[in-house]
Structure 1
Amino acid sequence: MEYSEKVMDHFMNPRNVGVIEDASGVGQVGNLKCGDIMKVYLKIENGRIEDAKFKTFGCGAAVATSSMATELVKGKTLQEALEVTNKAVMEALDGLPPVKVHCSCLAEEALHAALWDYAQKNQMEIHGLKAPVEDIDELHQNENED
């Protein structure tokens, strides 16, 4: 399996690893098939993501996508953060092997789950944000049924 230099860099030197104690929003998703679990913490002030941290239990690609996703959302508005999709994460990492694409989906979903948590705590709606799923396999089964 061939990984890009950026994937290897974010795996070997992940950015934003850790916990934000008083996080504005926390999201956790997993993939029961591969056993990856990703938790994202966001600190949000005045409608902007001031800080983002993650804890990931999983393969190198899962760590790399978590690292890149948290880098991509820092400083963004909530609406801009919602636009950080799995495709954006993959592009920023110069691609992922096909069998590892689900890791970028995990990063997107964990991020969206943290945004959802924040929105729920603050009785607000973020346009286009959907309720999170526990296991990303549910998402892909639903997509395949459409």
Structure 2
Amino acid sequence: MWDYTDKVRDHFLHPRNVGSLDGANAVGEVGSLACGDALKLFLKINDAGVIEDATFQTFGCASAIASSSVLTELLKGKTVAEARKLTNKDIADYLGGLPKEKMHCSVMGQEALEAALAAYQGEAAPRHEPEGELVCKCFGVYDGQIRRAIRENGLTSVEEVTDFTKAGGGCGDCLEKLQAILDEELGKAPAAAPEPVAAKPLTNLERMRRVAQVMDEEIRPNLKKDGGDIELVDIDGKTVLVALRGACKGCPVSNVTLTDFVQKRLQELVEPDITVREAGK
């Protein structure tokens, strides 16, 4: 269970300014339903450049809803110039803080605001996600977005990069690339590649121990970040039987989670020919 502040709970349970806005002359949209979070921000700005009204539509978790709700409250009555100065830190601070794993929700609010103000000025929306090289395929996060998050928020670890951008929170294939980007931004020299170690056949007992360790230390914590979970049911030779729990149970993309994340990580960290199946199927 996330440790939410009273303000986060209030704005989640009683969100302000929900829905589309008639007469909106500035609209900003960020995120993607395929990646789990999306936000559309509507602003009505008068001739004096003051934001008279603001509403939102969002698809996401409690933090995404609360961040969007607070953003609309913060914007009302501000001039366009004042609104441009709002950052994700302002959103999180107004809420009394967010769980570190949910900071990307406040970042999404800042990006939607920037897109809306750009549309109002007749400018192209900032290209946060398509900027540079695609780094995280699971959540569609690009190089430019990652570097911006590192610079603006003083990030110093890959875990923090994941908290602010979601990059690395899926299959994990991009973790080395995230570390390289982080090292470059922090001015660190790249670490020397380790010497390859010859793989030895695993005994059944060792395989079971390693599978359980990877499940508990890496796979389950990553799934829990978005409300999901997984249970190790049995191991039959090199076939791992699992049961999906929480938000993962019945999810329309659960097969992708099992093959592209769970199975792939076990193949990388335990044995390359391990297969993962959902128990009872």
The TM-score by the shorter chain falls in which range? Answer: 0.7 to 0.9
The answer as to whether partners of 2:27 and 2:41 remain within 8 angstroms in 1 is: yes
Identity value in percent: 48
Number of positions where the alignment pairs a residue of Structure 1 with one of Structure 2: 139
> What is residue 141 of structure 1 aligned with on the other side?
146
> What is residue 48 of structure 1 aligned with on the other side?
50
- Cα gap change, 1:97 to 1:33, in 2 (>3 Å): farther
- Cα gap change, 1:7 to 1:20, in 2 (>3 Å): same
> Unaligned 5+ residue runs, structure 2?
131-139, 151-180, 186-281
Spell out, residue by residue over 1:47-86, the C-alpha distance to the aligned partner (whole angstroms, 9 max, x if none): 0000000000110100000000110010000010111110
The answer as to whether partners of 2:128 and 2:145 remain within 8 angstroms in 1 is: no
Superposed CA RMSD in Å reads 2.2
User: Please, which of 84, 106, 116 is the counterpart of residue 114 of structure 1?
Assistant: 116
Listed as ranges, the matches of 1:1-146 within 5 Å are 1-30=2-31, 34-45=35-46, 46-120=48-122, 131-134=126-129, 137-138=141-142, 139-143=144-148, 144=150, 145=181, 146=185
**Deviation larger for 9-18 or 133-142:** 133-142
- Cα gap change, 1:132 to 1:81, in 2 (>3 Å): farther
The answer as to whether partners of 2:42 and 2:116 remain within 8 angstroms in 1 is: yes
The answer as to whether partners of 1:116 and 1:132 remain within 8 angstroms in 2 is: no
Structure of greater Rg: 2
- Partner-residue secondary structure (3-state), 2:83: helix
TM-score by length of 2: 0.46
Distance 1:54 1:4 in 2: 21
- Partner-residue secondary structure (3-state), 2:53: strand
Distance 1:65 1:137 in 2: 20
> What is residue 240 of structure 2 aligned with on the other side?
none
TM-score by length of 1: 0.86
Distance 1:33 1:142 in 2: 23
Letter in 2 for 1:140: Q
Distance 1:85 1:2 in 2: 22
Post-superposition offset of 1:141: 2.2
The answer as to whether partners of 1:109 and 1:132 remain within 8 angstroms in 2 is: no
Distance 1:81 1:6 in 2: 21
